[in-house]
Amino acid sequence: MKITDIAISHHRLPMDPPFHASWDSRPRTHWDATIVRVTTDDGLVGIGSGDLMLGFEGHEHLFIGQDPLAIERHYRILANLSFHYGRCWPLDIALWDLAGKIAEQPCHKLLGGLSDRVRAYASSGTLRQPRQMAETARRFLEEGFPAMKVRFHRGDWHNDIEALEAIRDEVGDELTLMVDCNQGWRMPWDIAQPWSLKDAVEIARYLEDLDVYWMEEPLHRGDYDGMAALRQAVDLRIAGGEMTREPHEFRTLIQRGCLDVLQPDVALVGGITGLRRVGQMALEHGMIFTPHTWGNGVGLIANVHLVAGCTGAPFLEFPYDPPEWSLDRRDYMLAEPVTVDPEGWIVLSDRPGLGVELDEERLAATRL
C-alpha cells in the first residue's frame, strides 16, 4: 500500500455574533479550518486538521509513493519541515487516522489501549462579568463537567479574582477550577508586557485560597528560571507548554523543574508521534500530561486518542463556552461534533482511526 495523494483545503465559517476570545483583543468574526487528506492506492483516506500547513506545498513528493505506515519516517521529515517552515503536524494526525483505518482499529488501541475515555474539563474562552461567570459555572456543573477552566485577562487581575470568587460562591467545591493567566504568549498585535515573577506569586496566593487546581501560563514561555522559582514558592500546580514549538523544549521544561502540568497539543507540536514520547517522559518525572486542545474537533479527538491510549490524565481540555463558542461553531467541519457524556467523559468509539467523519457539504460551502 502506498500514499498516492495529499490534499490540503482551507475553510472559513463566518461568526455573527463574533467570538470575544480572552487572549485576543480583536473580536473573531470567523473561524478558519485547514483540512488535510492523505489517500492511498487502496482508496483509504486519513484526515487531520490544525495549523495552516504553511510551507508544506512543494514537499508532497517526500511522502507520495511511501508506505503510509512508516510513521516514524514521516515524523522525522515533518520535524525537518516544521523547523524550516510552519507547523505541519496535521499531516501526522491524518497518518494516524489512516493507520487506524488500515488496521481496522481505533487510534487509542494502536497507541496502547490504556482506556477508551478521558474526563473533560469545560474550557471557557470569554471574559464575562462575575455574575455571568457564576451562571456559566452552574451550567457546566449541571451538564456533568467535573471541572472548569477560567480565563484571566481583564486588564486588572483583581477583576479576574472577583470573577473567580463569584464562581466559588455559586458552586462551592463541586467544580474543580483551573485558571489560565494567558501570560505565556501574545497575538501578533498585542504588545502588553507579561507578569513578573512577583506578580505571579502574589496572584498565586489568591488562587491557593480559592483552591485552584492549576495556574496556567503565569509567566512568559521562555522564563524558565521564573517558572521554576514560582513552582517552588507556591503550593498549587503550575501548567504550561501549549504553544511550545519543538518537542525537545519540553525536556528543558521538565529537567529544570518549571512545570507540574505539561500541555502540548498534537495539532501544534510533534503530532501524535512526537507527543506520545513527550507524554511518557512527563509521566516518568511525576508530571501531569494533559494537552491543550483549543482548536476544532479533529485536533481535540486526536489529543483524546493519545491521552486515552497511552498516558491517561485527570482532566482533558474541552473548548466550550456557548453561545459564542458552541459545538456547532467549533466542529462545523465534522458530520457530528465531539461531545461529552452526562458525567463529563469524552468516550471514544470503536470506529477505525480517529472515528470522526467530515461534513463534506459544509466544507464545500465554507471552502476558501
- Phi and psi at residue 10, in whole multiples of 5°? -120, 140
Give residues with Cβ within 8 angstroms of 142, minimum separation 6.
none
Closest alpha carbon to 321 in 28, 52, 116, 34: 28
Q: Is the peptide bond before 337 cis (omega within 30 degrees of 0)?
A: no
Under 8 Å between Cβ of 97 and 105: no
The residue assigned the cell 514561555 is: 221
Residue 309 DSSP code: I
**Torsion angle of C-alpha atoms 273, 278, 283, 288, degrees rounded to 10:** -100
Residue 247: the pLDDT is 86
Side-chain half-sphere of 147: how many Cα atoms within 13 Å? 22
Per-residue pLDDT tens listing for the chain (368 residues) = 999 999 999 999 999 999 999 999 999 999 999 999 999 999 999 999 999 999 999 999 999 999 999 999 999 999 999 999 999 999 999 999 999 999 999 999 999 999 999 999 999 999 999 999 999 999 999 999 999 999 999 989 999 999 999 999 999 999 999 999 999 999 999 999 999 999 999 999 999 999 999 999 999 999 999 999 999 999 999 999 999 989 889 999 999 999 999 999 999 999 999 999 999 999 999 999 999 999 999 999 999 999 999 999 999 999 999 999 999 999 999 999 999 999 999 999 999 999 999 999 999 999 99
pLDDT in tens, 33-68: 999 999 999 999 999 999 999 999 999 999 999 999
pLDDT given for residue 204 in this prediction: 98
Distance, in Å, from the CA atom of 341 to the CA atom of 297, rounded to the nearest integer, reads 16
Cα distance between residue 49 and residue 19, in whole Å? 21
How many residues does the structure list for the chain?
368
Give the C-alpha distances (Å, rounded to integers) separating 72 from 31, 92, 271: 32, 10, 11
315 backbone dihedrals φ, ψ, rounded to 5°: -150, 150
| Exposure b/e, 315-330, CB count within 10 A at least 16 = b | bbbbbbbeebbebebb
Cα–Cα dist 37/267, whole Å? 15
Give the residue carrying C-alpha cell 482532566: 315
8 pairs with which residues across the strands? 36
Q: Is the dihedral of CA 156, 157, 160, 166 positive or negative?
A: negative
The Cα 12–Cα 32 span in angstroms is 4
User: Which residue has 521564573 as its cell numbers?
Assistant: 226
Q: Which residues, including other chains, have CB under 8 Å from residue 106's CB and lie 6 or more apart?
A: 100, 116, 305, 348, 349, 350, 351, 352, 353, 354, 355
Cα(124)–Cα(131) distance, integer angstroms: 15
Q: Using CA atoms, how far apart are residues 274 and 249, in angstroms rounded to an integer?
A: 12
Domains of the chain: 3-104 (3.30.390.10), 110-347 (3.20.20.120)
* Cα separation, 64 vs 137, whole angstroms: 48
Query: Is the separation of the CB atoms in 68 and 331 below 8 Å?
Result: no
pLDDT recorded at residue 31 = 98
Helix axes 247-255, 271-284, angle to 10 degrees: 10
- Stated pTM of the model: 0.97
pLDDT of residue 327: 98
Are 218 and 183 spatial neighbours (Cβ–Cβ below 8 Å)?
yes
- What pLDDT sits at residue 107? 98
8 A C-beta contact, residue 195 and residue 219 = yes
